Structure 1
Amino acid sequence: MPTGTKKILILGGLGFIGKNLYKRLAHDGHTVTILTERIHSEADGFLTPAVRQHTLQGSILNPQLMNNLVAGFDVIFSLAGSSGAADSIRDPYHDLDTNLKGHLNILEACRQYNPGALLVFPSSRLVYGKPTANPVREDHPLQPESIYAIHKITTEHYYLLYQRLYGIRSVIFRIANPFGPYQRFGSNNYGILNWFIHKALVGEPIEIYGDGSQQRDFIYIDDLVEVLTRVMDTPAMAGNIYNAGAGAGISLRQAVEVIQRYIPATQVTFRPWPEIAKKIETGDYIADIGLLKQHTGWMPRTSFDAAMKETIAFYDRSNT
């Protein structure tokens, strides 16, 4: 529990991580403002009238908006941006704008109008590319396989540079594969487990590329949010990069077997890798979370089975 209430801005606050983070921070008594590029009604029921009162519409690509917005916040979670490694290959210039220029706007605004803010940036495990060994530590070579991953690495350096030059404190998390409630439903760009659950609930076969033996480190969103909130009360984290994952590997085939336990009619088919997907596939990934444990005492608390049960129940309720 935080030691004192803070004024917090979540950029991209209507995304998957942002929604869950907002709920936790509001529950803890903080004053939280959301900035989102689009405000629209959603089936998950998140945008209640109370939440709408704290939600602003605008883009991090608008430097004047950023200049006018950032002052006065204690903590800024920079969650806004585009997701999808394959999409970044198909449309690299869009990824360039949203995942590089937007974050420069945030940093420049803070440099001028709120240099005392603490910034939190969610990077990705994709910056490592194909791991040479598992579990992967933060000092593993960076070998990006997509434009998206290249831009994540570059943005990491932006945040660290602004800390060195201007004293703007930043914490960076290389997040594994988060899943849970409020992830965008019905698209494979926003989490493979979300996509699998969607397919199962609508009665369509789950498609797996290859034989399904590839392992991922799946972290439940409640555990990830706990990590993010600890930043606010752990000053020594500033200037560091941390892996954020469960620290364990689960194959896609095993994940589907858990889905089948709760949705027995689930069917699965295996198909050859599409060309682009095969080129950017990173292989097995398991995060070494030792540094995060050392600096915060954090440990993932939710079992994969329990997290999947809750996630399936949430989407089943939201789509009935």
Structure 2
Amino acid sequence: MDWTGRRVFVTGGAGFLGSNLCHALAQRGARVVALDGFLFGGGANPRNLDGADVEFVRGDIRDIDLRPLCEGASVIFNMAAQTSHMGGQADPLADIAVNAVAQVRLIQAAREAAPDAVVVHASTRQFYGRVETLPVAETQPVAPPDANGVSKFAGEQYWMLEHRVRNRPVVSLRLTNCYGPRLRIRDARQTFLGIWIRCVLQGQPFEVWGGEQLRDLTYVDDVTGAFLAAAENPACHGQIFNIGGSPPASLHALAELVVRLSGGAASYTTRTFPADRARIDIGSYHADDSAFRAASGWRPLVDLEEGIGRTLDWYRTRLEDYL
């Protein structure tokens, strides 16, 4: 796909994944409209779009008129979401409002203003809950372990219904742990790695909960590449795909890698899961993303050591902007 001059709408455009996607699209010559409401506890940061040639609109996807923003879009990248698992547990109604009800609002607006647009929806591996078989393929049963997983699954299914009923080209990408520049690092609301990075760069020890769980991590440039590939390849349209990344590693192994790449001055402690988190922990997870690789030709290019090293270097000069 030649992105030059194409009008593209990105929801959640000032967040971690959305802003990286906006930068990549602008560099390819697309005319990007980015929407973000800077919801409390989300990943949006005013500095995330620095240097990106995009039209930014500040507004809440739950109540802003979405039709003018969709108008004429050939592709909609739907990154807006409430992603905090504990936030969803504490306030499931707010969770549903963003992850499900607002998705229906966007679907209705796109029907009117961008009836032919390709939609790539940011989804999550959280749906699968605690799995029995690794790696996890798309055929695994869905058993969300928390309210956030339920609301996100509802949002995804509304989009897939739009494909089945209206024949809109929709792709849903179920993401694993994503990391890299522009990640929220002030706390652990987006991912455990964010708070680890903050602690390391501030010279403080970080905590590893459990430690034996396996995780696969995807560097943000590879995530961006997956979204672009999903939009560009008609073989992907109408499908749900898992997206993986580096070979799985235990949390202890990841912690040791972070310590080594920080120069060895960092340290961590291991503790058992807090009771409220233990109830929703999914255990080990890593994705079988062979279906997406076959359909799109995509594969991750940044290995774990390179990715974490890049991430630490990026934040060293920008730490205050992300605290």
**TM bucket by the smaller chain?**
over 0.9
Between 274-283 and 4-13, report the one with greater CA deviation: 4-13
Question: What is aligned with 2:291?
Answer: 291
Q: 1:43 offset after TM fit, Å?
A: 8.1
| Contact 1:247/1:288, CA 8 A, preserved across alignment | no
Q: What are the within-5 Å matches in structure 2 for residues 60-71 of structure 1?
A: 60-62=61-63, 65-71=65-71
**CA displacement, residues 7-58 of structure 1 (integer Å, 9 cap, x when unaligned):** 101111000001111111111111111111149xx9884343764x610111
Between 244-253 and 300-309, report the one with greater CA deviation: 244-253
Question: What is aligned with 1:119?
Answer: 119
Question: What is aligned with 1:29?
Answer: 29
Q: 1:255 offset after TM fit, Å?
A: 1.0
Question: What is aligned with 2:202?
Answer: 202
Q: Secondary structure at the match of 2:48?
A: coil
The reply on whether 1:235 has 2:234 as its aligned counterpart is: yes
Counterpart-to-counterpart distance in 2, 1:49 and 1:297? 30
Q: What are the within-5 Å matches in structure 2 for residues 209-228 of structure 1?
A: 209-210=209-210, 212-228=211-227
Counterpart-to-counterpart distance in 2, 1:49 and 1:308? 23
Distance 1:213 1:139, change over 3 A: same
Counterpart-to-counterpart distance in 2, 1:319 and 1:4? 33
Question: What is aligned with 1:250?
Answer: 249
Please, which runs of 5 or more residues in structure 1 have no aligned partner? none
Between 104-113 and 306-315, report the one with greater CA deviation: 104-113
AA aligned to 1:189 is: R
Question: What is aligned with 1:11?
Answer: 11
Counterpart-to-counterpart distance in 2, 1:144 and 1:130? 9
| Contact 2:85/2:148, CA 8 A, preserved across alignment | yes
Question: What is aligned with 1:188?
Answer: 188
Q: What are the within-5 Å matches in structure 2 for residues 1-320 of structure 1?
A: 2-5=1-4, 6-38=6-38, 45-48=47-50, 51=53, 54-62=55-63, 65-210=65-210, 212-246=211-245, 248-263=247-262, 264-319=264-319
Aligned CA-pair RMSD:
1.8
Q: Secondary structure at the match of 2:35?
A: strand
Counterpart-to-counterpart distance in 2, 1:79 and 1:69? 15
| Contact 2:9/2:69, CA 8 A, preserved across alignment | no
Q: Secondary structure at the match of 1:280?
A: coil
Distance 1:44 1:269, change over 3 A: farther
**CA displacement, residues 257-311 of structure 1 (integer Å, 9 cap, x when unaligned):** 1111122111111122111210100011010011011101111111100001000
Distance 1:38 1:246, change over 3 A: closer
Counterpart-to-counterpart distance in 2, 1:192 and 1:106? 30
Distance 1:126 1:171, change over 3 A: same
| Contact 1:111/1:168, CA 8 A, preserved across alignment | no
Counterpart-to-counterpart distance in 1, 2:56 and 2:229? 23
Counterpart-to-counterpart distance in 2, 1:25 and 1:146? 33
Counterpart-to-counterpart distance in 2, 1:230 and 1:202? 37
Please, which runs of 5 or more residues in structure 2 have no aligned partner? none
AA aligned to 1:61 is: R
Q: Secondary structure at the match of 1:313?
A: helix
Between 280-289 and 152-161, report the one with greater CA deviation: 152-161
AA aligned to 1:77 is: F
Distance 1:50 1:173, change over 3 A: closer
Counterpart-to-counterpart distance in 1, 2:203 and 2:148? 32
| Contact 1:3/1:233, CA 8 A, preserved across alignment | no
Counterpart-to-counterpart distance in 2, 1:293 and 1:50? 29
Counterpart-to-counterpart distance in 1, 2:140 and 2:179? 24
Q: 1:247 offset after TM fit, Å?
A: 5.7
AA aligned to 1:55 is: F
AA aligned to 2:195 is: W
Q: 1:225 offset after TM fit, Å?
A: 0.6
| Contact 1:215/1:251, CA 8 A, preserved across alignment | yes
Distance 1:48 1:180, change over 3 A: closer
| Contact 2:134/2:286, CA 8 A, preserved across alignment | yes
Q: Secondary structure at the match of 2:99?
A: helix
Distance 1:247 1:134, change over 3 A: farther
AA aligned to 2:113 is: Y
Counterpart-to-counterpart distance in 1, 2:189 and 2:233? 32
Q: With the length of structure 1 as denominator, give the TM-score of the two structures.
A: 0.94
Runs (4 or more) in structure 1 with deviation over 6 Å come to none
